[in-house]
Amino acid sequence: MSLSSINKPLRDAVWKRDDGRCRYCGLLQVGQAAVFHIDHIHPRSLDGPTSLENLALQCPHCSLRKSNTVEAPDPVNGIAVRMFHPLRDRWEDHFVLRRNGIIEGRTPIGRSTAAALQFNERWAVSARSLQIALGWIDIGDDEGETV
């Protein structure tokens, strides 16, 4: 969806609420050349509304892979489960971010979303690990051992 179809006050509200961070992978807009997108969490093509409760800031990497996806297979067993919902689900419940920039899924929803959005593709990990090293991304209390 083009930005122009989401009015400026609504775009501004999403940017403010999401604080310049991709609500899926956690990447920050700062330091990125490509402007983050505003995602319809439940796709507009499936009657998702254009409302603050259905919009989330999303980096281009995640946006291009998510598109209108609403479910994806858990890589562990191939069973399709719903995608992570960035406003209803707690990120920490479904994912863990390692100091090296790798994101691991903790749940079927986390694993399926991480795989579908290719969180651990080389360039995405590179960008995240730089932001972690700069202290821009907090890895929280659950950080595990890195390789």
> Does residue 95 belong to the site contacting Zn ion (CB under 5 A)?
no
Nearest to 3 by CA among 46, 43, 40, 45: 40
Least separation in angstroms between residue 32's CB and Zn ion is 10
Given a contact cutoff of 8 angstroms between Cβ atoms, the answer to whether 116 and 63 are in contact is no
Phi, psi of 41 (to 5 degrees): -55, -55
Check residue 24 for interaction with Zn ion (CB under 5 A). yes
Binding-site residue total for Zn ion (CB under 5 A)? Answer: 6
Candidates 28, 41, 62, 83; binder of Zn ion (CB under 5 A) is 62
Per CB under 5 A, the segment of 59-67, 70-78, 81-89, 139-147 that binds Zn ion is 59-67
Residue 14: its H or E element: helix 8-18
**Residue 125 contacts Zn ion per CB under 5 A:** no
CB of 60 to Zn ion, least distance (A): 8
Q: Which is nearer to Zn ion, 74 or 84 (CB)?
A: 84
Contact region for Zn ion (CB under 5 A) — 10-18, 55-63, 88-96, 131-139? 55-63
Q: Any contact of residue 25 with Zn ion (CB under 5 A)? A: yes
**Per-residue CA distances from 44 to 67, 68, 70, 120 (Å):** 10, 8, 11, 27
Of 22, 55, 109, 137, the one binding Zn ion by CB under 5 A: 22
From residue 136, give the alpha-carbon distance in Å to each of 37, 38, 55, 69, 87: 20, 21, 24, 29, 22
Rounded CA-CA distance 69/65 in Å is 8
Residues of the shown chain interacting with Zn ion in the complex, contacts defined by CB under 5 A: 22, 24-25, 27, 59, 62
